[in-house]
Structure 1
Amino acid sequence: MRKLALNDEILLNIEKPARYIGNEINSVMKDKEKVAIRFAMCFPDVYEIGMSHLGIQILYDMFNRREDTWCERVYSPWIDLDRIMREQHIPLFALESQDPIQDFDFLGITIQYEMCYTNILQVLDLSNIPLFASDRTDEDPVVIGGGPCAVNPEPLADFFDLFYIGEGETVYNDLLDAYKENKKNHGTRRDFLEMAAEIEGIYAPQFYDVSYHEDGTLKSFLPNNPHARATIKKQVVRNMSDAPYPSKPVVPFIKVTQDRVVLEIQRGCIRGCRFCQAGMIYRPTREKNLETLKRYAIEMLKNTGHEEISLSSLSSSDYSMLKDLVLFLMEECKDKGINISLPSLRIDSFSLDVMGKVQDIKKSSLTFAPEAGSQRMRNVINKGLTEEMILDGAAQAFAGGWNKVKLYFMLGLPGETEEDMKEIPRLADRVARKYYEIPKSQRNGKCQITFSTSFFIPKPFTPFQWAQMFTQEDYIHRAYIANQEMKEQLNRKILRYNWHEADVTVLEGVFARGDRRTSKVLLEAYRLGCLYDSWSDEFQNDKWMQAFENTGVDLTFYTMRKRELDELFPWDFIDVGVTKSFLRREWERAMRGEVTPNCREKCSACGAMCYQGGVCFEGKN
């Protein structure tokens, strides 16, 4: 019987002790004396968020298929346990064995969101692992990061030994095999890092030197070790149907953010929205075949007992076999009390018809994401939606029995005018009017339109990576304009407006496009007490501003500065498939308000493998 890292007294005095005890259904237990590699997989946020992350479930399953490897899980302790662990000198531990993370060979951290960066330092700190990679010895775990934020790893470069660039199902086995080989040969930590640096897709920050111009922009980024590659190529799964996928995902004891079976139907997106990082870095679009999805659906529902299955994709409507899959799931689930969730659908006749069949009689709210209020701005961002499409979709939804609609927009987009801002509540009002155009006999109670605005943040490897941001005050003013315009609308009583925090937006923008110098700010903010920055109740903007002041780092250099088209970016050494020349062409087209067709209509020669007519091929510049 294993020994818990926390005693009963501690468990009884913290919130949700089930976050820390492990032993969930389908969790993997092994004899640690019979494995060669112990890998701690970390999501740097609270358990309920981390347990909802599909990527960790995939890698957890894939690693544990190896007889020589035991992969366990670890999440950020919540504030209450964090305090107790520091006071009582309890090291951070893995859920399965309850062993200290410091005893593992690897600590793998999924980097999903910039505002989780201080939690990464918390995990290292509580694990008694030196924060700086340069201070670690052969006795410390190898710290490796992956996930979407790893496409600009530089703000975290000082804290990681390695970064895995791309999709984890490709070369992780090569990395683990190299570790075993180095261990067998009694090699040092540095020996292994050099072996790792030779594997395509692996980036070892210590093996690169950075220099800057007098104006602070990046001058050069060059390898300082013969084993390091000048360019790191993103790793991509070519055949999604044959890729590892968990048929027995871990089932938590407590309710988590996504308490359901998640069926990934495809990766990538054909749409080409210019603000969307995921749509660029996960190119090309790759579908799983229908029979594979049917098999996984049956097995996962059987092995978890979940009462809901969700189809995961950046744009589910673009999955070519969606109709057949949904009809199969409806037949499979109809007598079992299992709900079918269809996120990321474009609102058209087919989608509404399908949702009407799979949702309960009492229909939940529908979500539209126009992203911009005016057609001019939707052309700038290449959204591919006209107002006619939006209003027709809303009218069909209302006629189909829905009475609640959520609309998502962005403020602060490149080239946005005050008129564009005002068009957001005006469009929400025009959607509301569609409800009152249908006969009273078809209306389903009182209508409610909720529209929300986030503030646009330029991300690496998007056409908008050159865009300037705004000050916190500017963002708040833009939300104020939208809010005031809402009060002028005919249907203002049924409109509800929410907007994102402006101070968080500014910080996220800094670390999204930051370089190695921003690590000083991150470390100082952590030392000042910043933690769980993605949680509104815990975010402390005053301490972040103090961290910038204490380190002498100019926040506005990363947010307000105009970037020249030929500027060298901190992430330019990474090849994600889409070329910088393509992104530049799309930036210029955006400034002219020109729309680029989606990948199925016409290949835009982005440099990645483009999807067209169901066949992948190399797009050439």
Structure 2
Amino acid sequence: MPTIDELLTRVSKPARYTGGEWNSVTKDWRETAVHIALAYPDAYDIGMSNMGIGILYDILNKVDDIACERTFAPWEDMEAEIRREKVPLWSLETRTPIKDFDVLGFTLQYEMTYTNVLNILDLSGIPVWARDRTGEHPLVIAGGSGGFNPEPLSPFVDAFFLGEGEDAVIELADLVRDWKRAGTPRMERLRSLLKMPGVYVPAFYEARYGADGHFLALEPTTAEAPAVITRRILEKLPPALVRPIVPFLQTIHDRAAVEIQRGCTQGCRFCQAGMIYRPTRERSPEEVVQAARELMRNTGYDELSLLSLSTTDHSQIVPMINQLTSTFDDLKVGIPSTRVDSFSVDVANAVAKGKKHTLTLAPEAGSQRLRNAINKLVSEEDLLGAAENAFQRGWTGIKMYFMVGLPTETMDDVDGIIEMGKKVKAIGRKHVGGRARVRVSTSNLVPKPHTPFQWARQDTGDELQPKHLRLREGCRSVGAEFSWNDPRDSFIEAVLSRGDRRVGEAVYEAWKNGAKFDAWGEYFRAEHWERAFETVGVDAAWFAHREWDTHEPLPWDHIDCGVTKSYLRGQWRDVQTVKTVPDCHHGSCNVCGMQSFDALGPARGVADCVVKLGKLAELRRGAKDHEGEVLELV
């Protein structure tokens, strides 16, 4: 069998597989009791830009007897070498086979990476189906936003961690240490995880279907398994990550980063992150500046990204920027996510150094009516004012993100996108002449669990095609560039987002057909999935292209993200009436179920809110629609 070093000489970008980067941690396995591998089911270049992996890696390796290492999906050339030479996939730090670890933990951020999860298991020599594993195999754990509908991956994952894992990973490591000392059998290990808050163990649940084949319920098969699993929420953000690993090769986000805020309460009805990461919790400007100081010292980067779902929503963003710019002379500060208004442009301008190229804005819809329907609280005046401000201050390009296929959308709304591009282009020409660039980028709506749009239908490819054609021709006529997503991969994403356990069988078949790296356009093959759905008898269109009844059972009803189903139901009704809901971050409480966690409002404490969430879960189990009870409770 060839050595790993020999394999590295045969592939592109060998630095993806070598380890040894600055700030990586290598421990002696003989001196550590617990061995955990963290996996991101995509290429190293993508996975190393995920802050969640870095945070967990840092936390675990601070414990002396825990060795935490990393692995990623090998690129096609390396996979071919691994399979030809029969070398099991290894960890970057010690080149230990992944199958020898106690725990293999996946971060799930995007449904189109699910076939890579199976591929990593197979390349590691770990049975793909959870039911086929024995005590000789690691426990396969998964977390991240994909876990909020775990069912499509539940046949392959032993347990899902729901919510924020900074505390949970240490609890898990403590359990592993005890299991190994006591020689606890595999099934008893899984059973003990049922007692851990925020953990879902699929082996102890059974799906029930009606005579028509439609999903009816997911039921515990043992009294120890909770009927509803509530996500874990931290009251306060943990210390910032200040010793991240510095890759040898360029990654997608090749810069230092500080998470300045977690959660968002803008209430966009299509946005899953805005629901499942509530409540809003902030770092102080002083904490951010201190973290930046340590990051610069520990990494050598000269660029800092201020991470948040909506960075300029931070209540102290101006003092924070002022402190950063006054403390660091040469530091470039990036703001990846902003509101669509002139204030955000002012903030972006305050941190811009050197040439100003492209500013990104996300109006999401082309008409005010449709923006109101999706609760995107942005007016045309806001957008044009932001464009005017940006071009006046020397920016030469504006990129605008929109969605197509939104509920109640008409061709007039689509034409509104073109009109917006035309007006922004005119503003750009007025200020920077021929250098003005306007790019219109559209994505297709993918209804996501735990959002008001979880009941929405997705447009078919035939319905989306004329919209894309109209946008392509219209943008060309007004001098704006245009890009769009393939409706076929949006369709697969929707099926994986809203699927039940039977969709897991299709994931397996698609992988066997050759599906992998589905998030990469050059690798995605719709025919792999079409054949898989046909083979296992899954009606994929049933999951994607119909409007769901707001009282029908949902495959993710056993997962409590904290935002109540009755609140989401009310928000879905408001789509039709075009009624908006203000951001509770700046006003009164909207009674979504998370209010007592809001560190910026009149909080009553985490323990108080946990009790309330438990009562809300009981109400949900006992009533179809209970807005009155929820209002009375909170």
- Same structural fold, with TM-score higher than 0.5 when normalized by the shorter chain: yes
What one-letter code is carried by the residue in structure 1 that aligns with 2:432? R
Distance 1:581 1:217 in 2: 22
Q: Quote how far apart the aligned CAs of 1:215 are.
A: 2.8
Q: Of 109, 114, 120, which aligns to 2:111?
A: 114
Q: Is contact 2:39-2:104 (8 Å) kept?
A: yes
1:284 is paired with a residue of what secondary structure?
Answer: coil
Q: Of 439, 448, 472, which aligns to 1:483?
A: 472
Aligned residues: 606
The aligned residue for residue 545 of structure 1 is 530
2:402 matches 1:409: yes
Q: Is contact 2:69-2:91 (8 Å) kept?
A: yes
The aligned residue for residue 35 of structure 1 is 32
What one-letter code is carried by the residue in structure 2 that aligns with 1:153? P
Q: Is contact 2:210-2:216 (8 Å) kept?
A: yes
1:20 is paired with a residue of what secondary structure?
Answer: helix
The aligned residue for residue 333 of structure 1 is 328
Over residues 517-560 of structure 1, what are the superposed CA-to-partner deviations in whole Å (9 max), with x where a residue is unaligned?
A: 00111111111111100000111111221111222211111112
Over residues 564-614 of structure 1, what are the superposed CA-to-partner deviations in whole Å (9 max), with x where a residue is unaligned?
A: 110110111111110000000000011111111111222110001363854
Distance 1:50 1:313 in 2: 18
The aligned residue for residue 449 of structure 1 is 438
Q: Quote how far apart the aligned CAs of 1:282 are.
A: 0.3
1:325 is paired with a residue of what secondary structure?
Answer: helix
2:453 matches 1:470: no
Q: Of 67, 71, 85, which aligns to 1:88?
A: 85
Distance 2:204 2:498 in 1: 21
Distance 1:609 1:175 in 2: 29
The aligned residue for residue 380 of structure 1 is 373
2:7 matches 1:21: no
1:211 is paired with a residue of what secondary structure?
Answer: strand
1:62-211 map, 5 Å:
62-211=59-208
2:575 matches 1:586: no
Q: Of 294, 298, 303, which aligns to 1:303?
A: 298
When structure 1 is superposed on structure 2, of 184-193 and 352-361 the one drifting more is 352-361
Distance 2:603 2:310 in 1: 18
Distance 1:345 1:616 in 2: 26
The aligned residue for residue 491 of structure 2 is 506
1:131 is paired with a residue of what secondary structure?
Answer: coil
Q: Quote how far apart the aligned CAs of 1:172 are.
A: 2.2
What one-letter code is carried by the residue in structure 1 that aligns with 2:465? I
Q: Quote how far apart the aligned CAs of 1:38 are.
A: 0.2
Distance 1:395 1:346 in 2: 15
Q: Is contact 2:22-2:246 (8 Å) kept?
A: yes
Structure 2: segments with no counterpart, 5+ residues: 613-629
Distance 1:542 1:351 in 2: 43
Q: Quote how far apart the aligned CAs of 1:449 are.
A: 0.8
2:155 is paired with a residue of what secondary structure?
Answer: helix
What one-letter code is carried by the residue in structure 2 that aligns with 1:114? E
Please tell me the root mean square deviation across aligned C-alpha atoms, in Å: 1.7
The 1:477/1:215 distance shift into structure 2, 3 A limit, reads farther
Q: Quote how far apart the aligned CAs of 1:211 are.
A: 0.3
Q: Quote how far apart the aligned CAs of 1:435 are.
A: 2.9
Q: Of 573, 577, 584, which aligns to 2:558?
A: 573
Distance 2:500 2:217 in 1: 12
The 1:612/1:29 distance shift into structure 2, 3 A limit, reads closer
Q: Is contact 1:39-1:105 (8 Å) kept?
A: yes
The aligned residue for residue 500 of structure 2 is 515
Distance 1:217 1:605 in 2: 32
Structure 1: segments with no counterpart, 5+ residues: none
Q: Of 450, 468, 473, which aligns to 1:461?
A: 450
Q: Percent identity?
A: 41
The aligned residue for residue 352 of structure 1 is 345
Q: Of 586, 594, 611, which aligns to 1:608?
A: 594
The 1:614/1:4 distance shift into structure 2, 3 A limit, reads farther
1:158 is paired with a residue of what secondary structure?
Answer: coil
Over residues 466-509 of structure 1, what are the superposed CA-to-partner deviations in whole Å (9 max), with x where a residue is unaligned?
A: 0011222222222112223335x5xx2x3111111111000000
Distance 1:15 1:6 in 2: 14
The aligned residue for residue 399 of structure 1 is 392
Q: Quote how far apart the aligned CAs of 1:218 are.
A: 1.9
What one-letter code is carried by the residue in structure 2 that aligns with 1:365? T
Q: Is contact 2:280-2:599 (8 Å) kept?
A: no
When structure 1 is superposed on structure 2, of 203-212 and 422-431 the one drifting more is 422-431
What one-letter code is carried by the residue in structure 2 that aligns with 1:348? D
Distance 1:5 1:266 in 2: 44
Q: Of 278, 288, 294, which aligns to 2:289?
A: 294
What one-letter code is carried by the residue in structure 1 that aligns with 2:18? I
Q: Of 51, 54, 62, which aligns to 1:54?
A: 51
1:233-382 map, 5 Å:
233-240=230-237, 243-334=238-329, 337-382=330-375
Displacement over 4 Å in runs of 4+: 612-615, 617-620
When structure 1 is superposed on structure 2, of 323-332 and 139-148 the one drifting more is 323-332
The aligned residue for residue 6 of structure 1 is 4
Q: Is contact 1:403-1:444 (8 Å) kept?
A: no
Q: Is contact 1:5-1:99 (8 Å) kept?
A: no
